[in-house]
Structure 1
Amino acid sequence: MATRLFDLTGRVALVTGSSRGIGLAIARGLGEAGATVILNSRSAEALHDAAGTLREAGVERIETAVFDVTDQGAVTEAVATIEAEIGPIDILVNNAGLQKRLPLEEFPLEDFRRVLETNVDAPFIVGQAVARHMIPRRKGRIINICSVTSELGRATITPYVTSKGAIKMMTKGMCAEWARYGINVNGIGPGWFKTELNRALVESESFHAWLAQRAPMGRWGELEELAGAAIFLASDASSYVNGHILYVDGGVTAVV
């Protein structure tokens, strides 16, 4: 049956930055498709609460891993521990991200660097650590969380836009390097979803009105609407999809 192509039973999925928001929604979707999901955050308390939320939703196979995705030593150690104690990582979702809003002429250099460290350095660090285990096995799925701003600029978030353009091209570069080893590397580009990173927009009536006009579907995305894309890219259904960015944006990137 075609539905078996989407079955993730027996697979292990590490989702970074998954104590809330997009990461938690994707972790739930992968778990509901049968995967053992490993939630990640720097906060053990946040992970405890997130794991409880997933269990209440019926996801049974949940593990947690506390580490900072920007700390290469901590990442290498955590990945080795997961591989040894939980099982081989079949699926990696690089989701951890940071946002800060300021006019570009006022943006402090240290904050610019911090955005890039979280949004660009971390996917490189975690992706490299996981790929080093996937390569000998000659299989694996890596999903990088991009954005509509991988394609489109927006005022007050130029460092974020810069980082998401970079992660789009990192996705393609990872494909060029690792596809030969049976690793599929793709991206998901969310449009506007009601998350903590978008709090300023969620609280803005003018943005609600703008989005209703700008997005062909005329609304915000619901977090659960990202799960299908993640399951597809993590599963055998996408076996010949590589280096692709799947935009889940209500049509925003399709129109002017």
Structure 2
Amino acid sequence: MPDFRPTILIPTYNTGPILRETVKSAIATGYPVRVVVDGSDDGSDACLTEFEGLKGFTLHRLPVNQGKGAAILFGIRAAEKDGFTHALAMDADGQHPADRILDYFRVGSEHPQAAVFGSPIFDASAPALRVGGRKISNFWANLETLGWGIDDSLFGMRLYPIRELISVLEETRFARRFDFDPEVAVRLCWKGVPVINLPTAVHYPSAEDGGISQFRYLRDNILLTWMHARLMIGFFIRAPWLAFRGDNPLLHLSPSVR
């Protein structure tokens, strides 16, 4: 059975004061935490100096903003060099619950060959436009993988096998910004990586609570449209093999949240 040596990976860009609480809650799990500051210029990363020197905490600072996917690629390459096999990616903006991390690691330790994708359970804080709009991306992602089993193509709390994630990112020059989550999900499925979906509560902190969103509706939806157009070309090339290979062997382990 493959090894399972996980770390928590948090990319951050101009997240504001909420970054400290996100990182603190991740550190409290007792697992190694790696933060990649992706060219932030709002000073938010200054709050992380108090964690430097803590056992298991690693801080990287990129000189210019490169995008979430690029920051994660930097982080997982460094993590692999340090001997880690899996990385749990979570957003720095307070949306993802740290109290769910141990559940991801439990599932990952039982099935280290798999990617564990968060299946979001939204509360009243979720913008209706984003909740409804993601259904379009989910439709295309499941078509492009012939129903391999992606509950949500955009949710960013995921446990990745590092070697496989590096492989799919090195095969494309895309998936470096907002297109990271859906594109790597599809490409991992194309490679036959089993996917287990884990229901996960998600909360959107208000501006009063320090919530900051980097999502830009027009820009990012244009990016997603172009991404799915590219992936459909890849799908048509792979379609005969995808149809022949059968279903995701671990799909039955994903509880329904519908």
Q: TM-score range by the shorter chain?
A: 0.3 to 0.5
Report the TM-score when normalising by structure 1: 0.40
Greater relative contact order structure (CA < 8 Å, 6+ sep)? 2
Decide which structure has greater helix share. Answer: 1
Report the TM-score when normalising by structure 2: 0.39
